[in-house]
Structure 1
């Protein structure tokens, strides 16, 4: 059984794969100062509650965009499973089936997204990941990861408004009834959700023109499901794309 751990800025998302299928998934809030012992208690409890025996997990792959959590998660894995995890990073990239121009700058989650997209769809791809940051990752048909566009995520933008103004609250990200808000909540949702619709559609048009040729657009990330009803230029919705990429990377390296 393979355990994939995706450490993001907001959540740590984990998936257990058996016979190449996800059998369990769970997520916990990212807390940058948690210790290995605290994570050990959390993971032991989560796995036990799902009747997963520790010895059943024989492959572990980790991606992190939070550098301070790599060490405690690594130590937790060694304590709990008695083995070193495969940590995705620049030293692995030359062995992947994608090309990366700036390996020390790109997030490992975006590399996992690119690996999964290229593996599934082969041709030109753009992965739009609706997370803490909103990212657009461009992958050529030959596997070259050309680059990335980054904007604040929807929740990040909403939280920034709330934190930097006296009267605007932090409201849920949801599709408003109209682009003209009749109250503060709907006004914020109109500006963020419908404004981001325009941002996403425009950036996709520009990125497609630079990629040239037919291009598939894949939506992923925690808030992708909110945006699907208002953006009609997605070809695929892959909520588990990052975990899928980690699974592909893990299976590749554990075979060697």
Structure 2
């Protein structure tokens, strides 16, 4: 099976794939100083609970937007899975996507693998809205090229800033409202309404401008943990794919015919 490790700024997802099927998916908070040994203690317990062992993993792919965290993830694969992982962003990796921005090296690994998967599975032109630590909008052209995008503060980041900057405002969770009423009748309702409907306006407003700028028939694909909350309320979102990033990592692994070449034990 293939182990796909997607490390974001907030969480790191470990997914086991048998071909196109995601067999297991586990999530741990991102900590750039977490060692390979600490990762292994955690993942070995989860493998045991799933009646699997390290021997079931015969390939690995890593995508991280946390540069300081990459080394320990690579060491994890080398030390315990006895292979060098395919690392998204490595110059030797063939993306199969033309990245048409001023500096392709600036584009995050998650955005690149999302572009690979979206073009392969859905086809351009399209916009990928990824609800993560930041909310990103990535544009894929009709020919499958990555054309750039938009980065805005993530919704949880905005809530944290609001709570920390205003002493009387509580820390709240992101929730979809039970009705389309915008006016809040309490501080809590007002905050939830402002955050939720404010982001709906952000999503629809940016997608409207992107469609005007690129193509009126652009599909909009949402991914990330909060995608399901906004689907059906943000009129511009056409589809939700929670496993888009993992799918892109699998496709890159297959495209590069990466093999889990045995390596010597790490000291």
Displacement of 1:241 in angstroms is: 0.5
Deviation string for 1:122-142 (max 9, x for gaps)? 220100001110000001021
Paired residue total: 255
TM-score, normalised to structure 1's length? 0.95
Q: How does 1:67-82 map to 2 (within 5 A)?
A: 67-82=67-82
Deviation string for 1:120-172 (max 9, x for gaps)? 12220100001110000001021210001000111110011111221111101
What is the aligned partner in structure 2 of residue 97 from structure 1? 96
**Structure 1 CA distance, aligned partners of 2:245 and 2:36?**
24
**Structure 2 CA distance, aligned partners of 1:71 and 1:34?**
10
TM-score, normalised to structure 2's length? 0.91
Tell me whether 1:136 sits opposite 2:170 in the alignment.
no
Q: After the TM superposition, which segments of 4 or more aligned residues of structure 1 sit over 3 Å from their partners?
A: none
Given that 1:40 and 1:79 are in contact with CA atoms closer than 8 Å, whether structure 2 keeps it comes out as no
Please, what is the CA RMSD of the aligned residues? Answer: 1.4
1:220 alignment partner, SS class = strand
Range with greater deviation from structure 2 (176-185 or 188-197) = 176-185
Deviation string for 1:54-99 (max 9, x for gaps)? 1221110010011111011111121210111111005145x22211
Q: How does 1:36-47 map to 2 (within 5 A)?
A: 36-47=36-47
What is the aligned partner in structure 2 of residue 196 from structure 1? 199
Displacement of 1:19 in angstroms is: 2.5
Given that 2:175 and 2:229 are in contact with CA atoms closer than 8 Å, whether structure 1 keeps it comes out as yes
Range with greater deviation from structure 2 (44-53 or 191-200) = 44-53
2:257 alignment partner, SS class = helix
Structure scoring higher RCO (CA < 8 A, sep ≥ 6) equals 2
Q: How does 1:154-193 map to 2 (within 5 A)?
A: 154-176=155-177, 177=179, 178-193=181-196
Give the direction of change, closer, same or farther, for the CA distance of 1:83–1:255 in structure 2 (3 Å limit).
closer
> What runs of 5+ residues in structure 1 fail to find an aligned partner?
none
> What runs of 5+ residues in structure 2 fail to find an aligned partner?
260-267
What is the aligned partner in structure 2 of residue 48 from structure 1? 48
